[in-house]
Amino acid sequence: MQHPVVPELAHTHTRPIHWVATATAIAGVVALSSVLQPGPATAAQPTPTTKADDRPAVAPSVAGVKFPLDCGPVKALVVKQAAGDLDGDGRPETVAVVHCDAPMGTPPDAVYVITQGPKDSAPRVVATLVTPKDRNTVTTLTVTDGAVRATLLGYSTPDVPSCCPDVKSDAQWRWKSGAFVRSTPAGARSV
């Protein structure tokens, strides 16, 4: 029996034009895939949870907080604030820089840590990091990685006038063994 003669199929032999066409097609797919990227992830982010004592995991407000600051006839004024979890319990605290709203001069600042009380109770001051007796002015305040950081302007002696602080220092407080411990942050310089 004779087998029919089948002419050679053109696609079984490669020619340079085939390689050019293949390379062009691959380049087109790569270019198109770099343009057609998926959009940003839209998965739901976890929301702050409620702890066993029903306190929400949000930083407490400074509104209505009674600061341990004697301002006489003027009010206490919150001039800076920052928030973060300082004691590792999963709930943020608020750190506030407060001074008396004096009509003249530069009143000294105090720095307080505020936490939310249990259930529906009002936020309250739980620690004092800087007292007005220190005669400092706080120029920067941040909470980073569980540490409070501040830049303080102060005075080398009691004889230096309040108008003209002559000492600048950086301070850091971290919660350790049930108290805030002050240190100088790494890389800080005093003037």
pLDDT of residue 16: 59
CA distance 25 to 17: 12
**Across the chain, where does the E strand assignment appear?**
76-84, 93-100, 110-115, 124-130, 137-144, 147-154, 167-176, 179-183
Contact 173, 166 (CB under 8 A): no
pLDDT of residue 79: 96
pLDDT of residue 105: 79
Name the nearest CA neighbour of 174 among 125, 132, 127, 137. 127
Query: pLDDT per position in the chain (191 positions), as tens?
Result: 454 444 444 444 555 565 555 555 565 545 544 445 444 433 333 444 444 455 557 899 999 899 999 999 999 999 999 999 999 999 999 999 999 998 887 899 999 999 987 777 889 999 999 999 999 999 999 999 999 999 999 999 989 888 889 999 999 999 999 999 999 987 555 44
- Type of residue numbered 132: P
pLDDT of residue 121: 82
21 three-class SS: helix
| pTM given for the model | 0.68
Contact 166, 142 (CB under 8 A): no
Report domain extents, the chain.
76-183
